[in-house]
């Protein structure tokens, strides 16, 4: 694998994470439990899709085949996506959605802060812009998780169930491979494993405040980052997200 090939894979991973999660969060539009949350979730989705535009535009540039961010978003099949499995799991109830958001946001903020020092100026610029939005995302999702976890008996039970269900998907965020090794060697991105200690501290403190118990198992679902194995849910998500472009190839606004 050449440096540019690894760089492309890294950019697709960053862009696909925000694209898939952005679509998932957008599914709440008009369905959130209260108006304020409906607006907040829609804004979060818009932030993530905006970040996707930057990552996938750069991926298309590095790939050198004349593909735009839209091409990469709407004209790839499920096995070509490089997002972690965490972001493609269904929303579930409101508690599970916000637990998933916090577990991702905590990692996302740490990664972007490190990418601000990337040897690639384009990556550093994207990270510097995105981290401003993600700082708000993690603050909001953390506060909501704490409020629901340390809330009523019902909300506490639902948040614990959400944490138990989602925790096995967290480990993939820190699983390094040849792509990561190439990025570390080039000074473009950090070793994912180097983020784990700070992540555990951040998440652990939040869960303690939320009176929730972190699962003891270290089992981790994997396969999304290299495209070898996605959940069945990604195909259904892409069917919804890509249908217009697939039905009317080349359609533009």
Domain count across the chain: 1
60 class by beta-carbon count within 10 Å (0-12 exposed, 13-18 middle, 19+ buried): buried
Q: pTM for this structure?
A: 0.97
DSSP of 153-209: HHHHHHHHHHHHHHGGGTGGGG---HHHHHHHHHTSS--GGGGHHHHHHHHHHHHHH
What pLDDT, on the 0 to 100 scale, is given for residue 251? 84
CATH number for the domain spanning 31: value is: 1.20.1260.10
Q: Is 148 helix (H, G, I), strand (E, B) or coil?
A: helix
pLDDT of the chain, 253 residues: tens digit per residue: 899 999 999 999 999 999 999 999 999 999 988 888 999 999 999 999 999 999 999 999 999 999 999 999 999 999 999 999 999 999 999 999 999 999 999 999 999 999 999 999 999 999 999 999 999 999 999 999 999 999 999 999 999 999 999 999 999 999 999 999 999 999 999 999 999 999 999 999 999 999 999 999 999 999 999 999 999 999 999 999 999 999 999 888 7
159 domain residue, yes or no: yes
Residue in this structure with the two tokens 């909501």, named with its chain if needed: 144
What pLDDT, on the 0 to 100 scale, is given for residue 1? 86
Nearest to 240 by CA among 73, 48, 68: 73
How far apart are the C-alpha atoms of 158 and 208, rounded to whole Å?
16
Q: Tokens for 173, please give them.
A: 């965020």
253 domain residue, yes or no: no
How far apart are the C-alpha atoms of 210 and 182, rounded to whole Å?
38
Q: Tokens for 71, please give them.
A: 């091409």
How far apart are the C-alpha atoms of 126 and 11, rounded to whole Å?
11
| Structural domain boundaries enclosing 230 | 3-215+222-247
Q: Tokens for 92, please give them.
A: 């579930």
Count of beta carbons in the 10 Å neighbourhood of residue 252: 6
Nearest to 210 by CA among 142, 108, 135, 154: 142
63 domain residue, yes or no: yes
252 domain residue, yes or no: no
């Amino acid at each position: 694998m050449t440096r540019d090939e690894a760089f492309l894979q890294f950019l697709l991973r960053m862009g696909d994470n925000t694209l898939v999660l952005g679509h998932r969060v957008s599914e709440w539009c008009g369905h959130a439990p209260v108006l304020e949350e409906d607006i907040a979730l829609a804004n979060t989705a818009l932030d993530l899709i905006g970040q996707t535009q930057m990552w996938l535009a750069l991926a298309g540039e590095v790939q050198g085949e004349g593909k735009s961010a839209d091409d990469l978003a709407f004209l790839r099949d499920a096995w070509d996506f490089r997002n972690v499995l965490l972001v493609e799991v269904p929303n579930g109830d409101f508690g599970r959605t916000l637990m998933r958001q916090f577990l991702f946001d905590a990692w996302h903020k740490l990664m972007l802060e490190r990418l601000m020092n990337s040897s690639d100026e384009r990556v550093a610029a994207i990270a510097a812009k995105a981290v401003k939005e993600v700082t708000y995302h993690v603050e909001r999702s953390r506060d909501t998780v704490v409020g629901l976890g340390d809330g009523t008996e019902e909300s506490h039970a639902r948040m614990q169930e959400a944490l138990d269900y989602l925790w096995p998907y967290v480990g993939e965020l820190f699983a390094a491979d040849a792509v990561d090794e190439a990025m570390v060697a080039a000074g473009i991105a950090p070793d994912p494993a180097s983020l784990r200690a700070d992540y555990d501290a951040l998440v652990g403190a939040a869960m303690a405040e939320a009176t929730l118990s972190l699962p003891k198992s270290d089992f981790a679902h994997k396969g999304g980052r290299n495209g070898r194995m996605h959940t069945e849910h990604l195909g259904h998500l892409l069917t919804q997200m890509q249908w217009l472009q697939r039905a009317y190839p080349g359609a533009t606004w």
